[in-house]
Amino acid sequence: MSKTLALTQELIALPSVTPDDAGCQQRLADLLGPHGFSCERIPSGEVTNLWARRGTTRPLVVFAGHTDVVPTGPLEQWTSPPFAPTIRDGKLYGRGAADMKTSIAAMVVAVEEFVTAHPDHQGSIGFLLTSDEEGPATDGTVVVCEQLVARGEQLDYCIVGEPTSSEKLGDTVKNGRRGSLSGKLTIKGIQGHIAYPQLAKNPIHLAAPALAELAAEKWDDGNEYYLPTSWQMSNIHAGTGASNVIPGEVVVDFNFRFSTASTVEGLQQRVHAILDRYKFEYVLKWTVSGHPFLTPRGTLCDAISAAIEAETGIATELSTTGGTSDGRFIARICPQVIEFGPPNATIHKIDEHIAVADIEPLKNIYRRLLENLLL
């Protein structure tokens, strides 16, 4: 059994359902410490965070990830217990196998191999780990980033170990993510008997043309790395439950997944301009859960692409699709951020697993990345 596989199994066996770290980060600190890493625990609320650094010079290359996992779901539906790592038919099963304990184990072993072979390498290496990625993400990576900024630590490159591969290990690297902007729109009417519409004001009727215009609006054209910004309604609620009552209001939940071609402020202004043209009374509450970030082709993208091709022979694809990740927080303080990890087909599912044959190549890609950046 390889060291990477053994460490992955050890981490899976720790039931770190968010926000519980269950001792994962302490185990990793115990491994990193003998290799010259200064390990700092940064708790916040119920969340455990770890910042570890080896070296004091630049460039600083940081591996980032999360030790927490999502809940298991019905235990009886798992073929083997989710926190009892099990190998069947060449696959390693367990909660967190793909998202993302294999990546964390591979990063740690890759660093161990790299610093053993190159103890006098250029620059510095860091680890930023949290147990709050699968939760609200308010006490995790964002807190550590704030502390790093406060004390003047400058990150140059960051690799987040999210499971990004689609069909084969190495086929996809995320070099950015779209932003997420949500709105809760309440359009006011006047409740009344449905047989006397002249004595009421139906907010559903008021909302319909405005919502149609919002749905048809072209918000931007995207760019080389991003599809055009998308506006989608996720929920509409109105009515009292009775079929003979005109409701007093209608509530619409919607979300923008937006590219770097648009801004939060610009999208908000355009939505308000459309709504204001319809002259109805409304209240709109906004929530920004993430800004878009982008790392164009350059030093870090080239380094990971070369590492993947050298290890697997695959010419990787850069992509910005998918949901949000903690990369959105790190990108505020680090000019080049990418995400790369194993195939993501089983993440958050019953019987989550990863191919055992992918584990050593994943570790080797991370090690080759360090060689490309720090030698």
Query: Active-site positions?
Result: 68, 133
**What percent helix, strand, coil does the chain show, rounded to 5?**
35, 25, 40
Q: The tokens 């807190």 sit on which residue?
A: 143
What are the angstrom distances between the C-alpha of 133 and each of 214, 295, 326? 32, 21, 7
Q: What is the DSSP string of 295-313?
A: --SSHHHHHHHHHHHHHH-
Q: How far apart are CA 99 and CA 175, in angstroms?
A: 18
Half-sphere exposure at residue 288, Cβ-oriented, CA atoms within 13 angstroms: 13
DSSP letter for 356, please. G
Q: Indicate if the alpha-carbon torsion angle 151, 153, 154, 156 is positive or negative.
A: negative
Spatial contact of 132 and 47, defined as CB atoms under 8 Å apart: yes
Q: What are 62's two structure tokens? A: 């940081």
∠ at Cα 308 (302, 309), nearest 5°?
90
Grouping H, G, I as helix, E, B as strand and the rest as coil, residue 179 is strand
Q: What are 195's two structure tokens? A: 């047989």
Q: How far apart are CA 107 and CA 179, in angstroms?
A: 27
The residue type at 7: L
Q: What are 190's two structure tokens? A: 């006047």
Spatial contact of 101 and 13, defined as CB atoms under 8 Å apart: no
Q: How far apart are CA 278 and CA 181, in angstroms?
A: 23
